[in-house]
Structure 1
Amino acid sequence: MSGENMTFVKDFFIVGFPGLHPKYYALVSAILFSVYLSTLIGNGFFLLLFATNKSLHKPMYFIYMSLMFSDVLFSTCTLPKIIARYWFQDGTISFVACFFQMYLVHYFGTVDSYTLALMALDRYIAVCYPFRYNSIMSNRNIVLLSLVVWVLAHGCNIMMVVRAFPLPYCGANTVIHCYCDHVSITRLACIDRTLYSFPAFVYAMVVLLGSLAIILVSYSFIILAVLQIATAHGRLKTFSTCSSQLIIISLFFSPRCFNYLAANTGIIFNTDLQIAIIMLYSLIPPVINPLIYSLKTEEVKKILITKFQKRPR
């Protein structure tokens, strides 16, 4: 086909769940809006708590703050458009805006992976080298490491979008997803996408499995160190400091690994079910994480109890 006869896509349309009946549009938009509102309120409350209580200015909480910012920004760059698609039937997104959203989606996913790996390293040093923890994982060092995470996450994600952007999109413009991501967009290109999709897949695996490997190794050493503690109370106390992070890590990595494993072993899902799984593991952790921080962290519970007791009756 000659270039003169091609009609190139100028914008895309976010379909969301292709099998969803229109009578459920209002319900789905209300659910997504509630998820977004809960994300903003929960994480915003914890950020306010962190800003107003110096007792929380510790390395572990600086890492939490980095994860929260990433979660809020991810939800903000994805949810408003899909909510508008179902609430106002406005699913159109410009060509450039779609690729910018693609970049942000993968960028914040990378930030989360790296941050969870940093979180595991923090716990490893706290448990295995407690007397050197304050010098190795000082607030200054954690802030610097968090900044490094946010900077390093740019690299390959920029290249992924730069490679996908100039492809000829001259056919359908319907994105079978709730947001623009690399797979759903490059599928719409008018050429063989293998040369573009395979490097992106390899990069995703390196980020995901590389971070997961660091986490697994760190917690393996933590478990060995915990088992060497003489008293049961000491083992329980040490493990409790890591339990909240294990929950967060499980929520982030388990469904992602399952999704990638299914996609590469020939397991075929219904499209709506696959999108639902992706949305669950992308959007539920930002809602649940602040609750985990509050319920599983002694410092936060003490602050909340103190504030509650000081309320006028």
Structure 2
Amino acid sequence: MSDSNTTDFTNPSTFILLGIPGLEAAHVWISIPFCTMYTIAILGNFTILFIVKMEPSLHGPMYYFLCMLAVTDLVLSTSILPKTLSIFWFNSREIDFSACLTQMYFIHCFSAMESGILVAMALDRYVAICHPLRHSTILTNPVVAKVCLAVVLRSGMLVLPYVLLARQWPYCRTNIIPHTHCQHMAVVKLACADTRISSYYGLSVVFSVLGLDVFFIAVSYTQILRAIFSLPTKDARLKTFGTCGSHLCAILAFYIPGLFSSLTYRFDQNVTEHFHILMANMYLLVPPMLNPIIYGVKTKQIRDKLLHLFTHKGT
């Protein structure tokens, strides 16, 4: 009987997500800002997709990348929030083993995809500001399609081993995950086996993907800033610098919490568990909320089309 029970528990049919341990009494209150951010993200990103689709003049490289970012943000936020809210509101903590691994794949795949899109958008801004006359010849539609395909394939292939390795580990300690969602290391830490290969592989992906992406973004924006300071008029410098500054804020809002969440799971620096879990949620909810505002509403062409849409309906 004991052996049978151990064998059954080695491959659990379900995991139990605890939400935010230590803050259970505040789950309903925490759900309010989470739900607000998700609602803004859904409305904002769908609005971007609708406007770009309906307006032929926006069918260009920058807006194709923006649409891809919007789709990524929609999937990223939707992959965690419905389940998180069901924990907060209905105490629905069970998640099927396969559903947990699927959620893990979507979270990490689309996080890597978002990083790749941010690099592509930084490249687009670099070409537009530093080589404006060559922008249309460098970033043609076939080039944009190849960049998007490369971003998708890179993310999908690099994250797939996360799930394949997590599926093979025996889970004989517990099936309780002290988290709101199935983050890779939160699940792997439950395994009763030597899971260093999962940890090392995940760390190599963090440094090879996010590290390189941050490097390329930094190089692009360094060149952009040099070009900005060489502009002839102060107004032009301030306008361009303001746009790039808001872009950098959106980029930092994605990378800082993401790197913090990934590294503290491996190198515990006495960070309280509830703070770590909140940060893990922030990098999956804040960027999808901010990106439509920073890349969309603050972009003159989209703002003008949005205003035209509302004023036209009003008349």
TM-score, length basis structure 2:
0.91
* Corresponding residue SS for 1:132: helix
Pairing partner for 1:151 from 150, 153, 173:
153
- State the 1:90 CA deviation: 1.1
Whole-Å separation in 2 of the counterparts to 1:20 and 1:103: 27
1:160 maps to what in 2?
162
Supply the distance in 2 between the matched residues of 1:41 and 1:227 (Cα, whole angstroms): 36
User: In the alignment, residue 130 of structure 2 is paired with which amino acid?
Assistant: C
- For the 8 Å contact 1:12–1:175, the answer to whether it is kept is yes
Confirm or deny that 1:216 pairs with 2:218: yes
Q: Is the 8 A contact 2:199 2:266 kept in 1?
A: no
Partners of 1:128 and 1:201 lie apart in 2 by 34
Write out per-residue CA displacement over residues 178-231 of structure 1, whole angstroms, 9 at most, x where no aligned residue: 110110001000112223211211211211111000000111111122222233
Q: Which amino acid aligns with 1:58?
A: G
Amino acid at match of 1:25: H
Tell me the alpha carbon deviations over residues 243-265 of structure 1, each in whole angstroms, 9 at most, x when there is no partner.
44223212112333444566666
What SS class does the counterpart of residue 63 from structure 1 fall into?
Answer: helix
Task: Select the residue among 64, 68, 71 that pairs with 1:69.
Answer: 71
Q: 1:264 to 1:228 in 2, by over 3 A?
A: farther
Of 270-279 and 234-243, deviating more is: 234-243
Amino acid at match of 1:227: F
Structure 1, 93-102 or 298-307: larger mean CA deviation:
298-307
Task: Mark the CA change 1:109 to 1:271 in structure 2 (over 3 Å): closer, same or farther.
Answer: same
Structure 1 or 2: more helix by fraction: 2
Which residue of the partner structure matches residue 47 of structure 2? 45
After TM superposition, the score normalised by the length of structure 1 is: 0.91
Q: Deviations over 1:96-121 (max 9, x none)?
A: 11111111110000001111111111
Q: Deviations over 1:16-57 (max 9, x none)?
A: 1011234x3333344433332222112111211111112222
d(CA) in 2 for partners of 1:32, 1:220: 34
> How much has 1:94 moved relative to structure 2?
0.8
Other-structure match for 2:230: 228
- Secondary structure of residue in 1 paired with 2:80: helix
Q: Partners in 2 of 1:254 and 1:283 — Cα distance?
A: 13
1:301: how far off?
Answer: 2.0
Q: Indicate the SS of the match to 1:154.
A: helix
- How many residues are matched? 311
- Cα separation, 1, equivalents of 2:240 and 2:40: 31
- In the alignment, what sits opposite 1:83? 85
Contact in 2 for aligned 1:163/1:196 (Cα 8 Å): yes
CA distance in 2, matches of 1:240, 1:134: 24
2:116 aligned counterpart, secondary structure: helix
CA contact (8 A) 1:29 1:83 kept: yes
What's the offset of the Cα at 1:77?
1.3
Question: RMSD of the alignment, in Å?
Answer: 2.2
Confirm or deny: 8 A CA contact 2:253 2:283 kept in the other structure: yes
C-alpha deviation, 1:283, in angstroms: 0.5
Identify which of 13, 16, 20 aligns with 1:13: 16
Asked if structure 2 preserves the Cα contact closer than 8 Å seen for 1:243 and 1:296, the reply is no
1:202 is matched with which residue?
204
- In the TM superposition, residue 237 of structure 1 has moved relative to its aligned partner by 4.1
* Deviates further, 44-53 or 261-270: 261-270
Deviation (angstroms), 1:309: 3.4
In structure 2, relative to structure 1, the CA distance for the partners of 1:189 and 1:3 (3 Å cut) is farther
Give the 3-state SS of the residue equivalent to 2:132 in structure 1.
coil
* TM-aligned CA distance change 1:43 to 1:160, over 3 Å: same
Code of the aligned partner of 1:11: T
User: Quick one: distance in 1 between partners of 2:129 and 2:142?
Assistant: 20
**Identity over aligned residues, as a percent?**
32
Which consecutive unaligned segments of at least 5 residues does structure 2 have? Answer: none
| Structure 2 counterpart of 1:13, one-letter code | I
* Structure 1 pair 279–159 and aligned structure 2 pair: CA distance change class (3 A): same
Cα distance in 1 for partners of 2:247, 2:287 equals 12
* Rounded Cα–Cα distance in structure 2 between residues aligned with 1:265 and 1:20: 23
